[in-house]
Structure formats: structure tokens, C-alpha cells
Structure 1
């Protein structure tokens, strides 16, 4: 908005300048806000509560930022415009002497370019207009940009196939924590053994003293031991097996419910199995046994183990005498995400990208350019996903949150450039691209640099979560800015269709003999006399 304000004619009234600012910037910030907010609200579809909370907070914050920009910030621009109109100092608001027009000092008022009636271009604006834009639109540079983009896309796609699933639990602890040392030594000395999985019999009506029920339970445990990730050489840790063995040696009739329950309390206290059976009020409400897993080292192994154990538990409930089981381990809260992380990530990206396309089609007055915006979004997402894998970032709930951010922020730069290209009144595609870069090159670079500067401190953080946030935000902003000021302007010049409609409309407008002269709208009064209604140069 500031960039658009600086490009308005300074001698116009504040209302006109603010209207021109909103005309140029309003649609762009509306597109980016709608797409950002929608992308984060789509993130609510994920089953992870942490991601849902983040998306709800961020989308609501962006919505309030948008309202703030089109109301309060616009009012601040209007007040600043009145200060400029009154020729007052930017800090003290004291009256200043009239500027001669060629002075650029900060202690004089109203300096502007007399030929354009606008504020002087900043040096970087002049660079984009006079040097970078014409350089980028030359034929050989376009070919070079296409080759660079092909290389970028190839590396990104290669990286996508290298993505590792899963969250290493030691990454949840701060660097240097003893937790990290514990997991490192566990991997070194006990890498052959996986989690000791708990099988919980939750049916309080299960008859442990019934031989048929015990046989059904043994069959169920045998099914677990036959799994590839379970070691059949390591018997289950079962309080029931130990109890039956002791009862058999002592000559107890444990097939009798009364004797079974009567001897159970003393057995649990003496054997150390008291934590494995919930025996209260002469009723076994639940109990558990343990199965040792082996050769479970990667996130894929953990996901497969979790699914296999749950499927086997479901089959136990289908036996002739059903055994109602649930499988549990404290790490399952992390293994659960591995089962759905890829499908949910793909779902969020596809749905959000389609939503971006719909919004772009509604607000950008050219369907083909809207498709290019969507293409740029997909390109940035592929690049971030590929390079984050090459930067040693795995796909987990932490990086998934950041990929949702990627969906939102990747549209910002491309939407601004595309809309500026389509709305430009230049005649040729190359001139349109140069004009769009001139208008938005500096704001894009400024926004990218300031955002990266804001998160670069996280690169030295002692937490994996913060470092991951920095890495993905850095990639998102970097690739988004490069697409905005390098790739997309070049690709848009290949689309003559994007620039035809406005040129045709402009050619159909009535010609004016001198656009610099003041035009006066004349109407007749009821008495037949002429009345000058509007003397504004742009009123006709």
C-alpha cells in the first residue's frame, strides 16, 4: 500500500490519492489475504489437534491484519497525506518552506518530480525499472531463466522422493538434554528391539478362569507372535501365564472362579504383577500383557508395526470366544501421525491449491494468468518439500504445520505480480512485465528480506522445532520471492493472451486531443445555461 501511495500524484487531493492506492493495492491484498486465510482454515481438516490450533490462530490473525490494513492503516495514510498537503515536517509536523522541486532534503516539504507529479522513485525502484526489468525481458535471459527453472524443478522433484517420514523423539527435547543421550545410547545398544507393546484386555466380563476363554486368549497372543515385527522366541510377559503356572504347581483349581479370585490378590502382591491387573471389588475390570517387538528402527517400520498390531487386535475380537483388546505404547501418539501424515499433507495441499485457483479466477481478470498463479503456488510447494528433504527435515507434524504456512505464503508474491501484469496498461507483454516488476519488485524484496531477518535468529535455536520453522520459512520466502521477481514475470511474457484484453479495451476508448489538459464535464441546467460540474483533470 505504501508503494502504491508513493506512485500517486502528490498534487491531487487526499481522497483521490487514497482511492488510487486502494485501486492498485486493494485487490492484491484481498487476493493474498483470502488465499492465506483459506489455506490455514483448510488446515483444520487435519486430525492433529496441534495443527488445528495453529491454523485457527494464524488464519484469524491474518483476517484481523487485513481488516487493520484496509481501515486503520488507510486512515494513517490519509492523515499523512494531509500532512504532505499542508507542507509539514514528517516528524515535528511544523510548517516548512515550499520546496523548489529539485531538492530532496528531509527538512523541506513537498518535494516531488515536477514532470510526473509523483514522488521521486527510490534508487531500487529505478533499478527495477531501468535495468532489471529490461534485462530480464531480453530473449537470452528468458532462455537462461527457463533453464535455471528446469534445474530447480528437477532438484525439487528429486528431493521429494528423498523425504523421510517420522519424528525422532529426541528432537522434541532441547539440544544437550540427557533425553537425547538416552535415545542415542538406546539406538546404539538396543537397536534390535522395538517398543514393548501393551495388549489391554478391556472387557470386564472376560472369564479368565474359563479354559475356553484362556485358549482363545492364547490363540490371540500366538497371532501377535507370528507377526514379522514380533519375536516368537521371546514369550509374552503375561501375569495370567505366571498365575496359572503357580496355581498348577501349588495344586490350586484355578478353573474355579472362586479359587481363581481368592488367590489372585496375594499372587499379584508377591509376583510384582499388581500393576498389570485392575482387580477391585472382587472383579477384574481390565488386565494387560506385553509383546516384545524387534527390528523396528524407522518411521515406516513403526507405522507398519502399529497397523499390524491393530489389525491383529481386531481379528482377536472376531474369534469364536472374542477377546476385546486394544494395543498401546506411549510412543503410539507419535506413530499415529505416521499413518496419516502423507495423506493429510497431500489432501491439504491439493484442496488449498484448488481453492487458490478459484479465488484467483474470481479476482484476477484473466483465467490464464490465474492458472499461472496456481502453477507458481504448486511450484513453490514442490520446491520447499524437495529442498527441505535435502536440508535434513523429515515429514512430521512439525513440518506439516510449516507446509500449511507454505501454501499460504507461496501465493503472496505470485498473486501480486500476476495482478500487476494483467492490470498494467502497457501495450506489449515485455513492457507489462517490466511495469509489474517496477511496481512490486521493491515491495517483494523488502517483504522477503524483512521476513527472513525476522526468523533468522531461530537458526541458532537449541530446539529442533524452531530450527525446522526457520528452514521451511526461509525456503518459502526465498522461493516465493524468486518466483515473483524472476520466474513468473518471464513466464507471463510468453502469454500474449494475458495482455490483449486491456489493450483492446483501451483501443476502443474515445480519443482525447490532449490528456494533459483540464477536462470539464458540462451539463445543461433546467434554464438551458451551461454549468461546470467537475473540473478535475480525470473527470470526463
Structure 2
């Protein structure tokens, strides 16, 4: 049909399987984008982690971090598939999500590693690194994994399968970072201590001053004597800018006003958020279904043909026939059903010369002779293999024009209610019901799943975060970000559907990720005042958090070239989630901590736990 054309007319067509077939093709067609995402992420990470010191440069560790996440994704596909969970089309989004989120731990670990450059041995440096950031990395990974495992409680099978694949992928990514990546980091530490080149691994001269040549520059280097010797500009700049900005009183006023406006806009967006999924969004922009959908919407009513299917029914029983007829009349009486719109093979047969109820064999024999003469109902009766029994049959009623998705969901529930009230073994069906199911349950299902996720995140933070004030602040951040995601769905011209529900589940874990690093830095700071402790927290967390957020954005950037609404919607929400997460953790949270952050004996005692994250002493920031 797609290749059929004439000189006089244009043709647009569709079938009951079009959306499924086009959605599957659309998902598999964008697989190549994952390769682009991996390439972009390796390039970005290499840029962030490289430096002009060719001994301490960590450019190869960028590749190791991305490989660790890729191993986790592969392990997830293998394990979850072997457990019998089917690969549904929407799982095609999972690699982009996992690759973007999974590398976050790499930046946190390497930032802490640079802070302990003065340790005598690699073992001591690695031990100090894990003492400093192991807790926050574990909390962040645990919250992400838990958020997706909670998604297994969703009533939608596709959501459950997606969350299973993604949760396991993030779990394996964490394991690979704690094993494979730390092993690579150990090799890096030994190479640096032996003063070997980051590319050739050969011993190099320690910054010779006599020969000023390109070869001398590229083939030289030294062990780091301070943190900035190992870090790049991409790591130093966020720390310097943010530590200066968040401490200024004017900045705090600006942050307060901006977030008040953010809350107001989010609430307005939530009040206007629509539910449902427009069907043409499930296919690519160049699909033949787009033309059909456009013409059908512009020129025809949005009506639905309801198949009323009767099973194991005796058609010679007058009581059954009366119940069948009354059911069709009851449906026609509904305000959403067209008057006198029923179409039933039995009524056509009863008004024909073939109709014979003298015996079951005569009824069936004459019916089999009648059906071929009426082509539009030929397929409406299903006989047993020997032709002596009617296994099932169907009649039709036609709805009125129903365009609003909420009204469509209510329509489906109403006709089901009427059919279920019948004493016959009967059900009603339309292929679009699978989408209407979302219209009536997506809001309650999303609120329930996200609510459970928030409660679990609160419990995890309560158990692992060493101060109750920090638990409250992380929870408030989590609620604020979730509110913003709901509200900005409307602003981004997206609806609440099973597709965006995945993003909302993801946002719960993300909202904890960034905040927990800042809170951990504040609690483990040895400074006596809120102002100094906040400055320590920002200096400690700004670089890894900002670069982790940017790496997540780079990981999904390739989706901008997709023709799939699912992938583009995921990209939009991912950008919103990351931007809100960074804004809350790097702007709002430090501003609040500088005012009400916990200080005193109970916080200072954390210095004795061995978990102190020391900010770089060489960075001087002027604050007011």
C-alpha cells in the first residue's frame, strides 16, 4: 500500500497493527545512536580528565569509566533476558539512560582521588579515596537503583520490564566501577608514581627546562604536588565560580527569587498537565501513518468501532438472543454511542431466507451458507474445526466523535461496565483500548510509583546520611524536583503517559544523586561555621557534580537526531531533570546550608570517622 500511487489521487492508509509495527521499526532504527552517544561521552570525559601534565593526565581513565558502564549494560541484557523478561520496544531507551547516569560515579571518585595525591602509596591513596567518597557514591547508586526497582510495582508491563533492565544495568555499572574501574585507577596510580607517560607508559623526564621544543613538552611531565597539577580547567572552573557565587548575599537573594518563581510555574504546569498519548507520536515523523492520522483528524470524526464478542453462547436459546439484543440496545442508548449504529450478523441472518432454527445442524449449515453472501460480516463468526459449534461471534456498535483522551478513557470504562453487567459471556474490545488503559490509570499509577520511590529514598537517606537536617533537605530537594518535572511536562508540550512516567521515576533517583554529594561534603567538613562548611561542600562537590551532570547530557545528546517521539521526549525530560538537579544541588542547597546547616559537636565528630572530604586548600575564594 505504501508504494501504491496514481496520477489523480493521493492515498493514506492504516491498519490495526500499524502503530505496533511502526513503533518497533522506529526503535530498532535508532540503535546506531547509542554508538554515537558512547563516542561523545568518551570524548567529553577525556576532555574533562585530560591535562597538560602527560604523567598525571587521566585521559585513559575516561575510556575505562565508559567501558565499565557498557559492561553493566551488557550484563543487564544478558541476565534479565535469561530470567524470561521480554525486551519491549521502550527498553531501547535504557542504554542511553544508563550510559549517561552510570559515568557520574567516575567523576566523583576521580575528584576525591586527586585530593589525596600526597599519599605515599597507591594503596593508601585508594583507601583514602574510598573513605572520602565511597559513602556518597554508594548512596547515589543505591537511590538510582532503588527508584527503578520500585518501578517494578507499576501496573504497566512495559514499565516493569524497562525498570528491571535499567535497575540491573545501574547495579552492574556500580559493581564495575567498584571493581574494574578501581583496578584501572590503581594501574594509573602506579604509572604516575613511576613517572611514566600517560600514552606510551615509558619513563619521562620531569619537566626539563633547557630544551623548549614540542617534543620536550609532549614527552615530559611529573607527579602532582598539588590537586591542580592533576585536574583540568573543566574541573577547576566550576569549583571557583560556584564557590564564589553561592556565598554572596546578593546571590542568595537572586536564588531565592528564582526558586520561588520556579515553584509557582511548576504548580501552574501541574494544574494544566494533560494525560494520554497522541497515537501519531508513537511512529517516526516520516511514517505513512502520519499522513493518515493528519487526514483522518482533519476530515473525519474520531469515532471507535467497538467489537462486542460473545463466547460459548447457545444461539437457539431465545433467552440468550434476547439478552444479546438488549445489550446492544443498552449500548446504543449511551450518550457516547451513535443511535441505531449496531451491526450484528445475527440480525442480518435472522432477516434472511437462510434463517432456520429447527435444529442446531440446520442453523449452523444455513449460517455457513449465508455468511459468504454478506462479506462485511463473513469473519464475524468463528466455528469449531468440525463446524458443529460456534466458538465465538462478534457484533459492532459505533461511538460518537470523542477527541479528548480523558473522555476516551471514561468512555472505555463505561462500555465495559455495561457489558460486564450482562449475564452472557461477553466482552467489548477496540485496538485503541490498550492506549485508553493508560488514560484512566496513568495519573494514579504515576503518583503511586513516584510516591513509593520518594518514601524509599527518604528511608535510604535516613539510614545512610549522618544528620537528620541533611535528610530533610535532601527530601525537600527531591519533592521540589519532582514537582518541577510534573509541571514542566506541560511547558515542554508533553503529556503524562507511560513514556514520561519512566522519566518521572528516573527523576526521583537523580534528585538525590547530586544533593547527597553536597550534603556529604558539608557534614564531613572540619570547619566551625556554616559559611565555611558550605564553602567546603561546594569546593568538594562542584567539579564532580557539574561534570557528572554534563556527561549525562552528552550521553543523551545524540537522541536529538532521532525521528522517534519516544527518544525525543526522553531527551527533553532528561535535560530538564539534569538542569533542575544541578540547580537544586549547586545553588539552592548551598544557600540553605549557609543559613540553617547543622554545626556543632555532633557534626564535628564526623571528622574522626575517616570520611572527611577535604576541599582543595590551594583554591582561594573571596566571599562577602
TM score, norm. by length of structure 2: 0.75
Alpha-carbon offset, residue 22 of structure 1:
0.5
CA contact (8 A) 1:244 1:254 kept: no
1:414 and 2:522 equivalent? no
CA contact (8 A) 2:489 2:573 kept: yes
Matches within 5 A, 1:73-222: 73-98=181-206, 107-113=219-225, 119=229, 122-123=232-233, 126-128=236-238, 130-191=240-301, 193-202=302-311, 204=312, 206-222=313-329
SS in 1 for 2:398: strand
Aligned with residue 603 of structure 2, among 502, 505, 524? 502
Counterpart for residue 226 of structure 1:
333
Sort the Cα spacing of 1:65 and 1:126 in 2 relative to 1 into closer, same or farther, 3 A.
Answer: closer
Kindly provide the CA deviation profile for residues 424-475 of structure 1, in whole angstroms up to 9, marking residues without a partner as x. Answer: 1122112122111111211122122222122222123211111111111111
SS in 1 for 2:427: strand
CA contact (8 A) 1:376 1:414 kept: yes
Counterpart for residue 579 of structure 2:
478
1:5 and 2:113 equivalent? yes
CA contact (8 A) 2:114 2:227 kept: no
CA distance in 2, matches of 1:358, 1:397: 26
CA contact (8 A) 1:303 1:338 kept: yes
Aligned with residue 346 of structure 1, among 444, 447, 450? 447
Counterpart for residue 429 of structure 2:
328
Unaligned runs of 5+ in 1: 317-321, 508-540
CA distance in 1, matches of 2:278, 2:606: 59
Alpha-carbon offset, residue 151 of structure 1:
0.5
SS in 1 for 2:335: coil
CA distance in 2, matches of 1:351, 1:505: 31
Alpha-carbon offset, residue 286 of structure 1:
0.9
Counterpart for residue 382 of structure 2:
278
CA distance in 2, matches of 1:434, 1:122: 21
CA distance in 2, matches of 1:418, 1:25: 12
Alpha-carbon offset, residue 126 of structure 1:
4.9
Counterpart for residue 244 of structure 1:
350
Alpha-carbon offset, residue 168 of structure 1:
1.3
Alpha-carbon offset, residue 327 of structure 1:
0.7
Kindly provide the CA deviation profile for residues 61-88 of structure 1, in whole angstroms up to 9, marking residues without a partner as x. Answer: 1111111111121122222111222222
Q: Who wins on radius of gyration, i.e. which is larger?
A: 1
CA distance in 1, matches of 2:501, 2:514: 22
CA distance in 2, matches of 1:494, 1:223: 66
Aligned with residue 315 of structure 1, among 421, 444, 464? 421
The more displaced of 394-403 and 131-140 is 131-140
Sort the Cα spacing of 1:237 and 1:21 in 2 relative to 1 into closer, same or farther, 3 A.
Answer: same
CA contact (8 A) 1:129 1:434 kept: no
Alpha-carbon offset, residue 93 of structure 1:
2.2
Bigger RCO (CA 8 Å, 6+ sep): 2
Counterpart for residue 170 of structure 2:
62
CA distance in 2, matches of 1:223, 1:447: 60
The more displaced of 297-306 and 453-462 is 453-462
CA contact (8 A) 2:481 2:580 kept: yes
CA distance in 2, matches of 1:504, 1:466: 47
Sort the Cα spacing of 1:7 and 1:463 in 2 relative to 1 into closer, same or farther, 3 A.
Answer: same
Sort the Cα spacing of 1:177 and 1:253 in 2 relative to 1 into closer, same or farther, 3 A.
Answer: closer
Sort the Cα spacing of 1:506 and 1:466 in 2 relative to 1 into closer, same or farther, 3 A.
Answer: closer
RMSD across aligned positions (CA): 2.5
SS in 2 for 1:494: helix
Aligned with residue 533 of structure 2, among 388, 411, 432? 432
Alpha-carbon offset, residue 10 of structure 1:
2.7
Unaligned runs of 5+ in 2: 1-108, 609-624
Residues matched between the structures, number: 494
CA distance in 1, matches of 2:449, 2:598: 31
1:16 and 2:124 equivalent? yes
TM score, norm. by length of structure 1: 0.86
